[in-house]
Amino acid sequence: NAGVTQTPKFQVLKTGQSMTLQCAQDMNHEYMSWYRQDPGMGLRLIHYSVGAGITDQGEVPNGYNVSRSTTEDFPLRLLSAAPSQTSVYFCASSEGTDYEQYFGPGTRLTVT
């Protein structure tokens, strides 16, 4: 099992550009989520999904979109990048919210 995979590992964007961060899991987990990690602020939930076709907002959703067309994939789209979106992004999956979350290796994004 590859677990949770993310691409790319690093990305530099200019303000206003858009891009998609990819996330995939091979554990057949229904619950998937995206977090951003900033110094001193822990892990903040951006969006989450409880199954294919179902997504919802977390605590910091502005500027991001998600979709869940399959159980395996949960891409995160930045619509118009801003310097405030410079962060490390982690995707995670689990059997449910009261179970262990398995994190991907992260994507370090810099917006200039």
Partner 1 sequence: GENVEQHPSTLSVQEGDSAVIKCTYSDSASNYFPWYKQELGKRPQLIIDIRSNVGEKKDQRIAVTLNKTAKHFSLHITETQPEDSAVYFCAASTSGTYKYIFGTGTRLKVLA
Minimal distance in Å, beta carbon 101 to partner 1? 6
Query: Of 44, 74, 50, whose CA–CA distance to 62 is shortest?
Result: 44
Q: Is 41 in the site for partner 1 (CB under 8 A)?
A: yes
Q: Is 1 in the site for partner 1 (CB under 8 A)?
A: no
Q: Determine the Cα–Cα distance for residues 79 and 76; give it in Å rounded to an integer.
A: 10
Q: List the beta bridge partners of residue 41.
A: none
Q: Is 58 in the site for partner 1 (CB under 8 A)?
A: yes
Q: Is 44 in the site for partner 1 (CB under 8 A)?
A: yes
Q: What is the footprint of partner 1 within residues 71-90 (CB under 8 A)? A: 90
Q: CA 79 → CA 35, 41, 57, 58, 82, distances in Å?
A: 17, 23, 15, 17, 9
Residues near partner 1 (CB under 8 A)? 31, 33, 35, 40-45, 48, 50, 56, 58-59, 90, 96-101, 103-106
